[in-house]
Amino acid sequence: MEFQDYYEILGVGRKATKDEIKKAYRKLALKWHPDRHEGAARDDAEERFKRISEAYEVLYDQETRGKYDRFGADWRQGQEFTPPSGARTMSPDEFESAFGGSGFSDFFKGMFGGDVRGAFGERARRPHARYRHGGADVRAELELAAGDAIRGGKRRFDLPVTVGCPSCGGVGFLDEHVCPTCAGIGQVRERKQVDLTIPSSIRNGMSLRLAGLGEPGAEGGVPGALLLTLRLVSDGTYRVDGDELEVDLPVAPWEAVFGTKADVRTAKGTTIVTIPPNTRAGTRLRLRGMGFGDAGDFFVVVRLALPEKLSARQRKLLEEMREAGPSAVVGGAREVSTS
């Protein structure tokens, strides 16, 4: 890794205190942690994150900072970066397990090397003081298909959750070095199985507090809670837009001409929808308040379709319609409120 201006990377002055350096690092690490980015942006974030962590390790240590301040660019120009002594991390296998295979182990192996227990001894395995009693809350989001939300009931989900780092107790540092388990963030990701009863009043973005499903308490303390945010998504039947729902309703051409009634399952239960006579294909029927939450509406979109099997009589009538000649189709779809 080529020489870089570490003060510029962290955005601090050359007279910055150790507390200012640590504060700057935490702010930048939270912003550029690769877990917060996706796709091509993740590669850029990973590179930035490496430079930020390298700058912190050099400037926070008094000895390496002194050498850096004395020799500047001439000291490291064109040479590979050598990490300060004492900066070590867990084994690659342990790190991959902690990050779920996120690809950071090669970087941390090169920067820190070794095994976290060898560097920090038993201290690295003891929880921070704030975790010695009540367990910490953990956070997670659950994407729930609209159909599953409407059907309700109890289901088991395997969720990615964010928990306090077990190595540093959530502070992000060990012996003034960046915690290699959480990379200074203070949190790690893991998976948890949850049995969830889907609320009847479910809405998009609803937050649930599930007591006892967070981190376990220590020394007899009660476990924390799982703070779960529900995100409703479209599926093969329902389309979701916030708390509003939309579904296609196939009707036969003669039903659209003469009108009919049909059962439709909404977020508030099954209801009867009236298709008015002369309803055009694509017409949206609004059922107010029948979507998710208190304000979400439900829309039925009329789609023309023929039965899978036509009787001989039906086919004859369709042939007669064809022989009667084409007629111009005028107008378009419209929205009709049924309440």
The DSSP result for 297-338, as a single string, is -EEEEEEE---SS--HHHHHHHHHHHHT------S---EEE-
Burial class of residue 88, CB neighbours in 10 A (0-12, 13-18, 19+):
buried
**How far is the C-alpha of 306 from the C-alpha of 188, rounded, in Å?**
54
Six-digit token pair at 262?
């049909």
Enter the tokens of residue 13: 């002055």
Residue 113: strand pairing partners: none
Cβ(298)–Cβ(287) under 8 Å? yes
What is the predicted pLDDT for the residue at 132? Answer: 46
Q: Which domains does the chain have, with CATH numbers?
A: 239-337 (2.60.260.20)
For residue 178, count CB atoms less than 10 angstroms from its CB and return exposed for 0-12, middle for 13-18, buried for 19 or more.
buried
Rounded to 5 degrees, what angle do the CA atoms 326, 332, 336 make? Answer: 130
Residue with tokens 């945010």: 229
Query: pLDDT value at position 321?
Result: 85
Kindly give the parts of the chain with pLDDT less than 70: 1-3, 72-133, 216-221, 327-333, 339
**Whole-structure pTM over 0.85, yes or no?**
no
Tokens of 112: 């820190």
Residue 76, pLDDT score: 52
**Alpha carbon of residue 262 to chain centroid:** 37
Number of CB atoms found within 10 A of residue 37's CB: 17
Which residues lie closer than 8 Å to 199 by C-beta, 6 or more apart? Answer: 206, 208
CB-CB contact of 267 with 245 (8 Å): yes
Any alpha helices (H) in the chain, and if so which ranges?
6-10, 18-32, 40-60, 62-71, 73-76, 92-99, 105-111, 116-120, 146-151, 253-258, 312-323
- The neighbouring-strand residues paired with 155 are 196
